[in-house]
Amino acid sequence: MNSRNIQRANPIHELPLGFIRNRLPVDLGTFMKNSPNLSWIVDEEARLLFANNTFLCFLGLDETAINRNIMDLLPRVIGEALYEKHKKVLETGQPLQTQEKMFWANGSEVVFWISLFPIDPVNEKKLIGGEAINITERVKAETQLKSAVDRFTTFSQITNDAIWEWDMRTGIVYRNEKLKELIGFSNMQDKHGLSWWLKRIHPEDRNRVSDKVNEAAEKGLQSWQDEYRFKCSDGQYKYIFDRGFIVYENNVPVKMIGSLHDMTQVKQLEQKLVAEKLQKQKDITETIFRVQEKERTRIGIELHDNVNQILTTSKLFLDMISVKDKKHEDLKKKISEYILLAIEEIRRLSKEMVTPQLKENGLITSITNLVEDLKQTNTLGIQFHYQDDIEMLSIPKKVTLFRIIQEQVKNVLKYSRAKNLIIHLQMQNENVELLIEDDGTGFDPSHTRRGIGLSNIYERTRFYNGKVAIDTAPGKGCKIKVTLPTFD
């Protein structure tokens, strides 16, 4: 059958018996004449009584085809198939639909969806109307899709990867057996769609994953990937690496295909390595602190026992010197006073540097002694409030808290010009909280460099995964709050 161009005909006026003009309902006649699909009418003898231009042009016919037997006009295979179906409609009086395929001489394929229906008899002859819709492209697309689905199904069955496919038009998500096995849901159904999956992603990861999927589709990206925690059927979270590829039709995303990989063991190993590294750093830092405390204690003892002894001996020798001149006597007295001042200062420094005997005396007693010493040597009013269960802390943490109090008290005495200082030490839930508050001049933390004292406080607190919070402003005093976990 050829597809040559022909002169457009208007056979609707050439039908015998004035059929179309006088007997066929106007609305049906108009529809069939103007339909973009192939439309025709045959009688019970298979004579072609009507054919629209689409029908004639497609088959390479002209108006001379009217009144001829349709079997002579169509390819043999399709003609015989249509003849049997026309016959069935004539016998039953019921409409019929069928899908038929034909091949051109060049081997190309055409597929039609054909509807046949009875029409009221004319001159006692039964009539059949027909309409054929060219669905070749749709069938090709469906065939290709089915082939892709079959390949995907076969591949997903033989691969060891966890595969999923999301039909974005229907919302249905297909998952292969490996994926179901990975998450522990062996009887998953179509209703377990994207929303079900997102709800089982860890709350801290959920919005990020959802945003990535939406962003990829909205921006026309080819793929996306992310790592997140997924709650499996046993209630445990697994670390999942997920990667999806997007399929587009006419620039519209219609499907997403991807695979999952269980990263739980890798993550656990990473976390273990990080934990071991942190523990090693912690051990090193703790050793440094221990060595520092030991060195401080050694220097403090050296100052107290040796340097102070030298100064005391020097003062004794100075007292043995006899002077007759009043000017020299005044000088001798001044030197003696400076030596006593140096002895007292060294005694104070050595006491600060020597690690307190927290194991024997306890943290509360050591802080209380520090407060009492400050009251005797300063006009600063100091209050110390505490809870007895503080003593349950480990010795290293007690030393840390004691050193932090020493550092901050030293800062207050040196810089704040405060009149009052309050120290609170208490247990709060699973933490120990230290609050040191003064009514001094305060400072602007955004424009003040962190000195050695504050740096030491931050460093000691960070070692135990604690937190430091400072609340201060010029003229508003200063509050420093240190929070340490009770247990490591």
The three-state secondary structure class of 94 is: coil
**Number of residues in the chain:** 488
Question: What's the N-to-C CA distance of the chain in angstroms?
Answer: 89
- pLDDT of res. 307: 79
> How far, rounded to the nearest angstrom, does the alpha carbon of residue 3 sit from its chain's CA centroid?
59
Give me the residues paired with residue 227 across strands: 241
Nearest-angstrom CA–CA distance, 433 and 271: 29
- pLDDT of res. 31: 64
- The residue among 353, 356, 447, 370 whose CA lies nearest residue 412 is 370
Q: Return per-residue pLDDT of the chain as tens, 488 residues.
A: 333 332 333 333 334 434 444 445 545 556 667 778 888 888 888 888 888 888 888 888 888 888 999 888 887 777 777 888 888 998 999 999 988 887 766 777 888 889 999 988 877 788 898 888 888 888 887 777 676 666 666 655 555 678 888 988 888 888 888 888 889 887 776 557 888 999 999 999 999 999 999 999 999 999 999 999 999 999 999 999 999 999 998 888 999 988 898 999 888 888 888 888 877 877 787 787 777 777 777 777 777 667 777 887 887 778 878 877 888 888 888 888 888 888 877 877 776 666 666 656 788 988 898 888 888 877 789 999 998 888 888 888 888 898 899 889 888 988 888 999 999 999 988 899 999 999 999 988 877 777 777 888 888 888 888 999 999 999 999 999 999 998 76
CA triple 377-381-383, angle to 5 deg: 110
Structure tokens at 60: 């390479």
Structure tokens at 281: 């750093």
CA triple 402-404-408, angle to 5 deg: 120
Nearest-angstrom CA–CA distance, 102 and 166: 35
Q: Considering Cα of 267, then 270, then 276, then 280, what sign does the dihedral take?
A: negative
- pLDDT of res. 20: 43
Residue 442 CB-density burial (10 A; 0-12 exposed, 13-18 middle, 19+ buried): buried
- pLDDT of res. 209: 94
The three-state secondary structure class of 51 is: strand
Nearest-angstrom CA–CA distance, 77 and 65: 19
- The residue among 365, 372, 411 whose CA lies nearest residue 386 is 365
Listed in sequence order, the residues at least 6 apart from 341 whose beta carbon sits closer than 8 Å to its beta carbon are none
> 9-13: which pairs have CB atoms within 8 A and are 24 or more residues apart?
9/53, 9/56, 9/62, 9/63, 10/53, 10/63, 11/50, 11/51, 11/56, 11/63, 11/65, 11/66, 12/50, 12/52
Give φ, ψ of 263 to 5 degrees.
-105, 15
Answer yes or no: are the C-beta atoms of 82 and 40 closer than 8 Å: no
- pLDDT of res. 116: 92
Give me the residues paired with residue 423 across strands: 384, 436
**Angle, to 10 degrees, between the axis of helix 326-353 and the axis of helix 264-302?**
150
Answer yes or no: are the C-beta atoms of 37 and 133 closer than 8 Å: yes
Answer yes or no: are the C-beta atoms of 113 and 97 closer than 8 Å: yes
- The residue among 29, 45, 68, 64 whose CA lies nearest residue 123 is 45
